[in-house]
Amino acid sequence: GAGVSQSPSNKVTEKGKDVELRCDPISGHTALYWYRQRLGQGLEFLIYFQGNSAPDKSGLPSDRFSAERTGESVSTLTIQRTQQEDSAVYLCASSLVSAWSGGEQFFGPGTRLTVL
Amino acid sequence: GENVEQHPSTLSVQEGDSAVIKCTYSDSASNYFPWYKQELGKGPQLIIDIRSNVGEKKDQRIAVTLNKTAKHFSLHITETQPEDSAVYFCAATNYGQNFVFGPGTRLSVLP
């Protein structure tokens, strides 16, 4: 079946603009995760959803970042007033149940965001 | 908050040898410890994980051990193969809270 998909695959934007990144999880997966990976660096956990709710938003880097999920399906990560330090690959993953409850995470291909 | 350290940052082994990567964490409430493999130009892939109620888990050539008292966990790869070459990340979290990754270990398996 289809895996996790993300769009766009690449996004180039100007500093100060807003961007919206989309994640389509595997159908039926209740848990959805967002990560960020700056070039040559490690993974940074941003937020996860159990169903449509996000129990903990403290991983979001600043109040310019927000995420939502509707219908236990698609999720969008929005970055307002983008800054150059937001440039990174944004990865989405989903799992049938949460990873810490035994669900296996499947990752999407990522969205490469470049802020000029 | 949680802090995860990972060592070594780079590791080279001969094909067929074993590789061990160690991580330490600071938050005693952490109860889920995954390991991810990331090949060059690709996204991460979960390869094994362990929960705080067990001390060891094995999946073919890969094993993870957890010492909750000392707050450290390790990834063991036996009979390494060139396709094991990648960057490996450990992480720790308490049911999705304080989900922190280690800085990564670049493993090179030399033929």
CB pairs under 8 A between A and B: 52
The answer to whether B104 contacts A110, with C-beta atoms less than 8 Å apart, is no
Chain B nearest-CA residue for A54? B96
Helix (H, G, I), strand (E, B) or coil at A31: strand
pLDDT of residue A64: 97
pLDDT of residue A1: 53
Q: Positive or negative CA dihedral for A107, A113, B2, B5?
A: positive
The residues facing B20 across adjacent strands are: B76
Chain B nearest-CA residue for A33? B96
Residues near A9 by beta carbon (within 8 Å), at least 6 away in sequence: A109, A110, A111, A112
Q: Measured between alpha carbons, how far is B48 from A102 in angstroms, rounded to an integer? A: 11
Q: Measured between alpha carbons, how far is A97 from A93 in angstroms, rounded to an integer? A: 12
The residues facing A92 across adjacent strands are: A34
In this prediction, residues B27-41 reach a mean pLDDT of 92
Other C-beta atoms within 10 Å of B7: how many? 15
Q: Measured between alpha carbons, how far is B12 from B1 in angstroms, rounded to an integer? A: 32
Residues of A near B (Cβ–Cβ under 8 Å) read 35, 41-45, 48, 50, 55-56, 58-59, 91, 98-100, 104-105, 107-110
CA distance to partner chain A, nearest, from residue B18 (Å): 24
| pLDDT one-digit tens code per residue, A30-82 | 999 999 999 888 889 999 999 999 888 888 999 999 999 988 899 999 999 99
pLDDT of residue B57: 94
- Give yes or no for residue B71 having a pLDDT over 70: yes
For A100, the closest of B31, B36, B100 (CB atoms) is: B31
Report the mean per-residue pLDDT for chain B: 94
The answer to whether B93 contacts A100, with C-beta atoms less than 8 Å apart, is yes
Residues near A17 by beta carbon (within 8 Å), at least 6 away in sequence: A81, A82
pLDDT of residue B59: 94
For B43, the closest of A50, A98, A107 (CB atoms) is: A107
CA distance to partner chain A, nearest, from residue B32 (Å): 6
In this prediction, residues A93-111 reach a mean pLDDT of 88
Residues near A81 by beta carbon (within 8 Å), at least 6 away in sequence: A16, A17, A18, A64
pLDDT of residue B87: 95
Reported confidence tier of residue A100, pLDDT bands at 50, 70, 90: confident
* Chain B CB contacts of A51 below 8 Å: none
Who wins on pLDDT, B42 or B65?
A: B65
CA distance to partner chain A, nearest, from residue B93 (Å): 8
Reported confidence tier of residue B67, pLDDT bands at 50, 70, 90: very high
Report the mean per-residue pLDDT for chain A: 92
Chain B nearest-CA residue for A101? B95
- Give yes or no for residue B20 having a pLDDT over 60: yes
- Give yes or no for residue A8 having a pLDDT over 90: yes
